[in-house]
């Protein structure tokens, strides 16, 4: 993991979102097309040219979950990076990046669960998740693929004050 004030050019800049419900549980989704105990993750995605990380977080959250009713809780001070395993390097982002540098945000979900729509995201976006649930933030590192676990451990520490 490589925290720092700006993302290293070898890493794809993106955002990660910890979406908390009123009970202090965090949204996780099982990635579409994946199975297993490590196929879960929180919403994340790339930052478009000219977009701020916070704007990207709000956009990605809406695109992946349909959620727009949120209040801002916190932003991680540093970028958190992970390296892709060697077998994924050439097939991900055409080999341009060695991993991702993520700026993480915490938001409170202000809507009802029925407003979450992962199967038919707005704007015709491809579904990122096949199913979702609310989970304890501290459990998320064990539910993600191994190469992302150090970042999820940091996120769990950074945003622990918002979780149950």
Alpha-carbon span 136 to 133, nearest angstrom: 10
pLDDT, tens digit (0-9, with 9 covering 90-100), for 84-103: 888 776 666 566 788 999 99
- Looking at residue 93, its pLDDT comes to 59
| pTM for this model (two decimals) | 0.91
pLDDT, tens digit (0-9, with 9 covering 90-100), for 11-31: 999 999 999 999 999 999 999
Alpha-carbon span 86 to 35, nearest angstrom: 21
- Looking at residue 3, its pLDDT comes to 44
11-162, superfamily in CATH?
A: Nucleoside Triphosphate Pyrophosphohydrolase (3.90.79.10)
Please measure the distance between the N-terminal and C-terminal CA atoms of the chain and give it in whole angstroms: 26
Percent of the chain with pLDDT over 90: 75
Alpha-carbon span 13 to 46, nearest angstrom: 6
pLDDT, tens digit (0-9, with 9 covering 90-100), for 49-65: 999 999 999 999 999 99
- Looking at residue 36, its pLDDT comes to 86
Mean pLDDT to the nearest integer, 126-139: 96
- Looking at residue 92, its pLDDT comes to 63
Alpha-carbon span 72 to 78, nearest angstrom: 17
Question: Are 71 and 162 in contact, with CB atoms under 8 Å apart?
Answer: no
- Looking at residue 26, its pLDDT comes to 98
| Interstrand relation of 40-41 and 80-83 (parallel, antiparallel or unpaired) | unpaired
């Amino acid at each position: 993991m490589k925290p720092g004030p700006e993302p290293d050019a070898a890493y794809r800049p993106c955002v990660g979102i910890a979406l908390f419900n009123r009970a202090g549980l965090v949204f996780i989704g099982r990635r579409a097309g994946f199975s297993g105990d490590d196929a879960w993750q929180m919403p994340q995605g790339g930052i478009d040219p000219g977009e701020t990380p916070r704007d990207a977080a709000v956009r990605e959250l809406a695109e992946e979950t349909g959620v727009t009713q949120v209040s801002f809780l916190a932003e991680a001070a540093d970028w958190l990076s992970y390296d892709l395993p060697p077998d994924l390097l050439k097939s991900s982002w055409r080999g341009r990046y060695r991993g991702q540098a993520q700026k993480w945000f915490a938001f409170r979900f202000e809507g009802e669960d029925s407003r979450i729509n992962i199967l038919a995201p707005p704007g015709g976006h491809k579904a990122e998740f096949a199913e979702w649930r609310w989970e304890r933030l501290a459990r998320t590192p064990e539910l993600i693929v191994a190469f992302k676990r150090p970042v999820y451990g940091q996120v769990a520490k950074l945003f622990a004050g918002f979780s149950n």
